[in-house]
Structure 1
Amino acid sequence: MTNAVQNASASGRAPANAAGAGDAAQAFVVPPVDVYENENAITLLADLPGVTRDQLNLRIDGETLLIEATASAASTPPDMELVYGELQCPAYRRQFTLSRELDAGRIEAQLRDGVLRLTIPKAEEARPRRIQVQAG
């Protein structure tokens, strides 16, 4: 994984107080993430099937990027009743440490067809630049 974005936590459990006072520890699904880099930005693609925009929570705290989401099941057709179901609605959680060469204040996020795309631009001083050489 690139030095600009490092996986900070792939834990499958949250602390007991993360879900609220008195709640038991909640199990989380760690979504698979692909990380791409070019000279201008880092792009993360996270698979979050069943998640809508309203169920997605993205946070930056210092150098930590936190992705949290809850999937929902498709609604039951109006003229049918669920007799047996195996579908579980997972709670997703993934945490990354961002390097200082990234501009966390300009992150762009898109959620489409269960895939979250985060584009994190590199800070201007971290981008490669061409140096003009003048003849002396």
Structure 2
Amino acid sequence: MNTTTAVTPTGQAAVRHPASERNEPALVPPVDVIEDSTGITLYADLPGVPKERLNLRVEGDTLSLEGEMQLTVPQEMTPSHAEVQLSRFRRTFTLSKELDPDKVSAELTHGVLRVRIPKAEHAQPRRVEVRVI
């Protein structure tokens, strides 16, 4: 199942479930969305996903993240129970027109992906100079 989340500068995220881009089942990673005056930061939990198996794309107003866990089980061990059966994560976000998709940056630290999406220049708060006449 693939989900699309609309990310708006109000700090609210609305999850939608459109037709899947792929037929492969995938886990939907939990994501925190935090807004400040200069943009939005997403924190996605992607445990076990190395940088080499992480794909973050921006196409138009869509931000997609996909990752695959790399879990190694020693050959002499056979799991008797597995809580997580899927090894792939997938989530898609629709970006507000007030965000600048050309300036997206990302960092992966200890299984947490931090994605920074700044507001477009026209949406940034600006100081208005007051003249004395």
**TM-score per shorter chain, which class?**
0.7 to 0.9
User: How many angstroms does 1:28 deviate by?
Assistant: 1.1
Q: Quick one: structure 1 residues 134 and 121, their matched pair in 2 at CA, closer, same or farther if it must change by over 3 Å?
A: same
Which of 20, 24, 48 is residue 14 of structure 1 equivalent to?
Answer: 20
Which of 16, 39, 47 is residue 41 of structure 1 equivalent to?
Answer: 39
Match of 1:62 in 2: 60
Which of 83, 108, 118 is residue 78 of structure 2 equivalent to?
Answer: 83
Match of 1:3 in 2: 8
TM-score (norm 2): 0.81
**Is 2:7–2:96's contact at 8 Å kept on the other side of the alignment?**
no
The Cα RMSD (Å) is 2.3
User: How many angstroms does 1:7 deviate by?
Assistant: 4.6
d(CA) in 1 for partners of 2:128, 2:43: 33
5+ residue gaps, structure 2, are: 1-5
d(CA) in 2 for partners of 1:67, 1:27: 14
**Is 1:9–1:94's contact at 8 Å kept on the other side of the alignment?**
no
Give 1:34's aligned amino acid.
D
Q: Percent identity?
A: 41
d(CA) in 2 for partners of 1:9, 1:28: 16
User: How many angstroms does 1:102 deviate by?
Assistant: 1.1
**Is 1:6–1:96's contact at 8 Å kept on the other side of the alignment?**
no
Which of 88, 109, 116 is residue 119 of structure 1 equivalent to?
Answer: 116
Give the number of aligned pairs.
Answer: 124
Match of 2:3 in 1: none
5+ residue gaps, structure 1, are: 19-24
The alignment partner of 1:110 has SS state of strand
Which of 43, 53, 61 is residue 51 of structure 2 equivalent to?
Answer: 53
User: How many angstroms does 1:90 deviate by?
Assistant: 2.0
State the Cα deviation string for residues 35-61 of structure 1 (Å, max 9, x = none). Answer: 011111210000001100011011111
The alignment partner of 1:28 has SS state of coil
State the Cα deviation string for residues 5-37 of structure 1 (Å, max 9, x = none). Answer: 7556456x835xx3xxxxxx3211110000011
d(CA) in 2 for partners of 1:73, 1:130: 50
